[in-house]
A and B are shown apart, each in its own frame.
Chain A
Amino acid sequence: MHVVIGISRRKFAAWAAATLLAGGGGLVALRHGGTAVPADLGRRLRALQPWQYAVAEAVGGRITHPESADVGWFVDGYLSSLPPTDRRDLIRLLTYIEHVAPLLEGRLRRFSQLSAEVQDRVLRGLESSSSDLLRAGFEALKALAFMALYRREEAWPSLGYAGPVVRWEEK
């Protein structure tokens, strides 16, 4: 499933401007470094930067909780197959979640550094946001996270899903 969001540059600029006016601009600029990710990650990623991977992992981890599904890798592979415009939209959303959404919940830390409880609160804020675009963006990330989880056969038995009936290699 191809999942895209449609946050226009103008809309994102408006959110960023609002954040700057609220005094958070310096934070957005300064909060990029310091995400704990494997040293060689940058070389292995195809579409995301390491900090964006960390955000995708964090968001995906909360969505699929208590399961784990390597959502960061899945999003990276998925984005690499998208047209540039759609890829950019999804990366803008990750940027927004990491830097702006926590501020709207009264938190100065980045999303990826928040506790699970606060991360859930931030995500619920997106899910029920008054902005159509943010709600659509959340649904897109949710779809990606569940795609990463439920494409794996080991996730099926707990649902009672038997999976494909046809097994071509056996025919």
Chain B
Amino acid sequence: MIEQGRDQRGDRALRADAVIVGSGAAGGMAALELSRRGLQVVLLEEGPLLRTRDMTQREDEMMPRLYHQAGGQMTRDRAIRVLSGRSLGGSTVHNMNLCKRLPAALLEMWAREQPVTGLSVLDLDPVFASVEADLGVIEIPAEHRNANNRVLERGVSSLGWRGGPLWHNRLGCQRTGFCDLGCPYDGKQNSAKVLIPEAHRRGAHVITDARADLIKHDGREARGVEAAVLGEDGTPHGRLYVEAGAVVLAASAIGSAVLVGRSRLPDPHWRAGRGLSLHPGVAVAGLFDERIDGYQGIPQSYECTELLDHTPGSDRRIWITTAFAHPIGAAAMLPGFGEEHRRWMKQYAHLAVLTAMLHDDPVGQVGVRKDGLPRVSYRLDRRACEHLGRGIRACAELLLAAGARRVLVPHVPPLELASPSDLGRLSSDLVRPHALPITSVHPLGTLPLGDDPRRAVVRSDGEHHQIRRLFVLDGSLFPTGLGVPPQLGIYAMARHLSPFVADRAAH
């Protein structure tokens, strides 16, 4: 049975070979890999244990359960909303199940410039293959593409642009379209369903409602983790001390960086917490004569890669896919208020929505607020804004090419386009902070790996440059943004690096 911290009374101490902080793609994979190697593992998750019965498909109920700060985590300047998960399974519980391998051009660039060793395409290909097999990754067939994704496919085809189907980790999917609110049918082949149960069967001690507050260390070696045990209302009601031979950080690029910041680890080159990339995304809506019902069916089953090229120096840094929201999310995205806003909401069933996501530079930083919450500092520079502006224009072109009667850019003031001749109204300075809703679902890169301690926090095997027995296995590792959804890359990195953790924990 998985233990819920809310049931714990008083303080408590445990010992293990390895303690893992976070239960998403990285934490679940590390727990499984270390358990398979016979290690005694303690897996801590700050959020609650949610069962399929808890997934009510209601935004107002699921957002506070599934997301940090109830889905309202913002960058320090309040310009970008940053979504990250906080239940058992982390962000794999609410993500869209997208599975893309790390781009070869990025791996080559990291090897050359970071530098990173042991992460070539040849090194990682078998790891990706094994992860894909374990998670049942499949291409979403055309007959399962919902109307919103068919709009994107039609636009791509009509313009002769580059695009194609996406691959997901789903099994038993009922195609109801509520993936972002957790799956009541257990159709996600994610950390909570596939990895953690097997790790648990192999002896991993899984504890939810346990928020890691400090990495215990002596300045040279990590000794364990001190955590607050949270009640049902999220307030601490006890302490948990886990002494371990290895500490694994798998709490996301934000959570792991905050834990490192709070723990006052040696950081001689001022590297920890820096280098955050967010993959900021903007949305564009198209109004169609026919019903789209974009919230129904499998989301994000098709992509447009016309503006994406990972070759170093390339100016194509935009990935386009679909992005539909339930009413509360849609209402927050659509511009204006009152009657004007109501006019668009009445067309809700006839809207198709595309998103342009930026392959951004790692310019952000994660720190710790006085109240212990993350401080996410990130400023969109002019170049990033120009790329996002191009992305908006491309989304508008795709929607019009697919037959949209009108296109809405949720800018203040709103921009409505009725034909391709209106595209010229989308000026190059269209995007700036606070001028339109910008969302991030992929915080990455705050504790990057690499052989040079002046440029990296952890070595290429995932171990901290200054603190032995401390490993980072999550999205914090990536030296740059990816420009593609990171889920599969994080699973694979955790599997690839876990043997180094096991080796260290055993000695």
* CB-based contact A136/B70 at 8 Å: no
Number of interface residues of A (CB under 8 A): 46
* CB-based contact B328/A146 at 8 Å: yes
Q: A166 contacts which chain B residues (CB < 8 A)?
A: 55-57, 176, 184-185
Q: Which stretch from A29-37, A41-49, A104-112, A156-164 is at the chain B interface?
A: A156-164
Q: A149 contacts which chain B residues (CB < 8 A)?
A: 331
Does B53 belong to the interface (CB within 8 Å)?
yes
Count CB-based A-B contacts (< 8 Å).
135
A contact face: mostly helix, strand, loop, or mixed: helix
A164 to B183, CA, bound (A): 11
Does B312 belong to the interface (CB within 8 Å)?
no
Does B108 belong to the interface (CB within 8 Å)?
no
* CB-based contact B69/A2 at 8 Å: yes
Q: Known contacts being A120-B338, A165-B176, A165-B178, is A128 close to B413, with CB within 8 Å?
A: yes
Does B219 belong to the interface (CB within 8 Å)?
no
Q: Known contacts being A132-B77, A159-B348, A166-B55, is A150 close to B337, with CB within 8 Å?
A: no
Q: How far is the CB of A130 from chain B (nearest CB, A)?
A: 10
Q: Known contacts being A4-B72, A161-B348, is A67 close to B59, with CB within 8 Å?
A: no
Q: B370 contacts which chain A residues (CB < 8 A)?
A: 85
A69 to B326, CA, bound (A): 18
Does B371 belong to the interface (CB within 8 Å)?
yes
Q: A65 contacts which chain B residues (CB < 8 A)?
A: 337-339, 342
* CB-based contact A164/B78 at 8 Å: no
Q: A81 contacts which chain B residues (CB < 8 A)?
A: 70
A6 to B434, CA, bound (A): 13
B contact face: mostly helix, strand, loop, or mixed: loop
Does B489 belong to the interface (CB within 8 Å)?
no
Q: How far is the CB of A158 from chain B (nearest CB, A)?
A: 7
The chain B residue with its CB closest to the CB of A89 is B78
Q: How far is the CB of B60 from chain A (nearest CB, A)?
A: 4
Residue among A67, A143, A149 with the most chain B CB within 10 A? A143
Q: A66 contacts which chain B residues (CB < 8 A)?
A: 338-339, 342
Q: B337 contacts which chain A residues (CB < 8 A)?
A: 62-65, 123, 127, 142, 145
Does B164 belong to the interface (CB within 8 Å)?
no
Q: Which A residues from 62 to 100 make CB contacts under 8 A with B? A: 62-67, 81, 83-85
* CB-based contact B178/A151 at 8 Å: no
Q: A159 contacts which chain B residues (CB < 8 A)?
A: 327, 345-346, 348-349
Residue among B60, B79, B338, B350 with the most chain A CB within 10 A? B338
* CB-based contact B58/A164 at 8 Å: yes
Q: Known contacts being A85-B371, A136-B434, is A1 close to B70, with CB within 8 Å?
A: yes
Q: B57 contacts which chain A residues (CB < 8 A)?
A: 163-166
Residue among B296, B326, B331, B412 with the most chain A CB within 10 A? B331
A166 to B326, CA, bound (A): 15
* CB-based contact A63/B338 at 8 Å: yes
Would you list 16 pairs from A and B whose C-beta atoms are within 8 A, ordered by A residue? A1-B63, A1-B71, A6-B78, A63-B337, A67-B342, A127-B336, A128-B412, A133-B78, A135-B412, A136-B74, A136-B78, A150-B328, A150-B331, A151-B59, A158-B346, A164-B178
